[in-house]
Chain A
């Protein structure tokens, strides 16, 4: 049952062939067997899972059994769950036990979903490899010498390794889609405002969005259905009618207008990635879609804008870690200011400090206009680029990343690491929905295809991704590095 999708698991549960306890035991066994190698989990919550799982009779007898009832999942460790330690993979939050549960997690648990554990990330979701985790890096199940991507690397690796059918992640500049691409799974970043951020530890509040990592587009649609919707506890969540995402997966993309951004293909892109994406575009053409080039002229400024805006927001959001209300505190400081400085210097890792400093600089007197304000103006131009493009096309298709998964230590320079996010970042700046689906292998490593949609048009996005997935044959790809687990 480790390869099963949510639909198949749901059928097994509702017809009484399996119980939720079976699925929990199976998930825990898979973690026990192979997570010593992958290291996706920061904390396994097996006891809590058994305590929370619906008894068999409740699952099988329930009149309105939800798709997610009885099915295990993992949550990125920047999503708060009441009574379960939440670390954000940072030493500064050691010992923190939140008194509240993130709305996205609560909605899944209310539907009977079963949390199996909290998974690894780059500290405070700042990074593209999990190498910035304050605890340990997660390894890519396809090749244990390579990164799983990040920041939701634990979520992607846990799904790819078959530990859980799906996991929640968060995406600020590509943190769901990039690890999904690197680990050969599906990763969906919903439209900004579609999923409540309540209980998600804030990194850059105008960019952060929660979404699922799954083994298929169908599963992504099912999980999105479970977590989408307005929440009074997130003032940026939007009141929109939530469509039936599963019903949108018709397999029909006849006449769909697919835009291919010229500027993306002018960047430094791995040959194999380019080839796989071209093959995917051919597949979409054969399905009846109309593929045409589009222009996104301000793409080259997106990375600069992002790496000022996100750190600026982070520097403000992370001011709360001061050793007073939660987490660790430096000992024996003579006064309050020294206590703040020592706590933060000992508690934060190097990348978090860099971003706090860049953000503070960009917001500081004398530099605000040159950096932060200009970055926000560029953000407007990038948003307008997409608006103009979406007047002509229904979805935009690109690679998710310029290369497949890289090796540990390969991108030691921060700027080199940032360049990895070049195709995913503009999407967050514009608040758009986007999904990464596997589009084949290059030298034995998965390549991700990114599809970008109009705001709140997840139905078209999922329909196109699902139609492609059906003909691509890559949904069943499984990593080989773990042998017997698969």
Chain B
């Protein structure tokens, strides 16, 4: 499973990162080395071993669905780079 230029471009697109062709070249090497190092995981027999995704949590924590004080609309948009009438403004989703 050697990492290719196409892999890096594909993953960058999934991660919403723009990478230049020079960056891609460097990343193929850097990420490839990290994944090569992680190859030792493939040598273990892990059949029947459960996965640990979280330590110490056995149940989903829920609380009563009751209204309580929270951020105001103004506070919620206070950090937005672009805001209009209490809403986040973004560029067009589709062009044209």
Chain A interfacial positions (CB closer than 8 Å to B): 95-97, 99, 192-193, 206, 232, 235-236, 238, 300-301, 303-305, 307-308, 315, 319, 322-329, 333-342, 344-345, 348, 353-354, 356-358, 360-361, 364, 367, 370-371, 373-381, 383, 413-415, 418, 429-431, 455
Contact = CB atoms under 8 A, between A and B. Distances in A.
Contacts of A381: 44, 49
B88 A305 contact: no
Given A235-B57, A341-B18, A357-B31, 5 more contacts: A301-B40, A304-B40, A325-B80, A334-B92, A381-B44
Contacts of B8: 357
Nearest to B57: A236
Nearest to A236: B57
A380 B50 contact: yes
Contacts of A336: 90-93
Contacts of B79: 95-97, 99, 325-327
B18 to A, nearest CB: 4
Determine the main DSSP class of B at the interface with A: loop
Contacts of B33: 413-415
B91 A335 contact: yes
A328 to B, nearest CB: 7
B37 A361 contact: no
A364 B11 contact: yes
Given A99-B78, A324-B88, A326-B79, A341 B44 contact: no
A349 to B, nearest CB: 12
Contacts of A430: 55
B54 interface: yes
Contacts of A193: 55-57
A395 B5 CA distance: 47
Contacts of B55: 192-193, 206, 383, 430-431
Contacts of B50: 377, 380
B21 interface: no
A406 B4 CA distance: 33
Contact of A345 (B18, B42, B53, B63): B18
B54 A206 contact: yes
B14 A360 contact: yes
Given A99-B71, A371-B41, A378-B41, A236 B91 contact: no
Contacts of A431: 55-56
Contact of A383 (B52, B57, B94): B52
6 shortest interchain CB distances as A-B pairs = A431-B55, A376-B51, A329-B81, A326-B79, A235-B61, A341-B18
B16 interface: yes
B53 A376 contact: yes
Nearest to A238: B56
A374 B44 contact: yes
Given A336-B93, A341-B16, A345-B19, A357 B52 contact: no
A374 B16 contact: no
Nearest to B38: A304
A314 to B, nearest CB: 11
B49 A414 contact: no
A81 to B, nearest CB: 14
Contacts of A303: 37
Contacts of A371: 35, 38, 41
Given A95-B79, A304-B40, A379 B90 contact: no
B51 A380 contact: yes
